Amino acid sequence: MKSIAVFSVKGGVGKTTLAVNLAYAAAAQSARRTLLWDLDVQGAATYALRLDARPGASARKVFAGSAELRSLVQPSQYDRLDVLAADRSLRQLERQLTDDDKAKRLRKMLKDFDRDYDRVILDCPPGLTELADQVFRAVDVLVVPMLPSPLSMRAFDQLTAHLAREPRKGLSVLPVFTMVDRRKSLHKAIIDATPDRLTIPYASAIEKLGVEQAPIGARASGGVAARAFNAVWVAIERAISETGA
């Protein structure tokens, strides 16, 4: 099993949209047994797949070791794609992780899924927090969505500087430009200056994720947006294979 986190220092960059569509690509395009773990208290990834947290679910208790992780997993309506939904207890998780001082708790939790899944994708809350540091220690690939803008790129530079202070052996970092609109001169200039970076276009089909509550590939598999998400997934699989996974 290999794990992929979708993470950004700042919000509003299409993080959840990317996580949901990458999870669908893993399950549908690569036929991987896939778990999407929604770690963001807003629960947008959970909502986008038409699910809710199970009654009485508490992610915080799972991290504390007093609840069974597998009991919170739910099947989605898509083959090979399950979801570990977000719940309100995540509001207290950050303080708990700081107090517990258990730096490798998330890594150990992910290992519990070794037999059940080929890929686990984490939709992470924004910000350089204790949870973020646990994610960096635990996952194999870190996918970082950003807008083609100076502020968003500055946030990515802050992340890379943070990671450099405590290098994570075997961690691949994959930046992705999102909401790209080449009609905007700034977007075009930045994209042209970094031609090798993966891009997700600005598209109405992507904006409808919260309305239609379905991955792009499930409702517009031949469209430009679906192909863009699939291309990012191919890059992730390549990064995993290059590290010997």
Determine the Cα–Cα distance for residues 235 and 92; give it in Å rounded to an integer: 35
Torsion of CA 11, 25, 132, 37, to 10 degrees: 100
Burial of residue 151 (CB within 10 Å: 0-12, 13-18, 19+) is exposed
The CATH label, of 3.30.479.30, 3.40.50.300, 3.40.190.10, 3.30.565.10, for the domain at 2-242 is: 3.40.50.300
Q: pLDDT at position 236, please?
A: 97
DSSP collapsed to 3 states, 169-217? CCCEEEEEEEEECCCCHHHHHHHHHCCCCEEEECCHHHHCHHHHCCCHH
Q: pLDDT at position 60, please?
A: 59
The partner residues of 110 in beta bridges, in order of sequence, read none
Q: pLDDT at position 72, please?
A: 83
- Name the residue ranges covered by the structural domains of the chain: 2-242
pTM of the model: 0.91
Q: pLDDT at position 52, please?
A: 86
Q: pLDDT at position 26, please?
A: 97
Q: pLDDT at position 216, please?
A: 92
Determine the Cα–Cα distance for residues 103 and 133; give it in Å rounded to an integer: 8
Local mean pLDDT, 10-residue blocks, the chain (245 residues): 95 93 96 94 91 70 65 92 83 60 74 92 92 91 96 94 86 95 94 94 88 90 91 96 71
Q: pLDDT at position 5, please?
A: 97
Torsion of CA 51, 57, 61, 65, to 10 degrees: -80
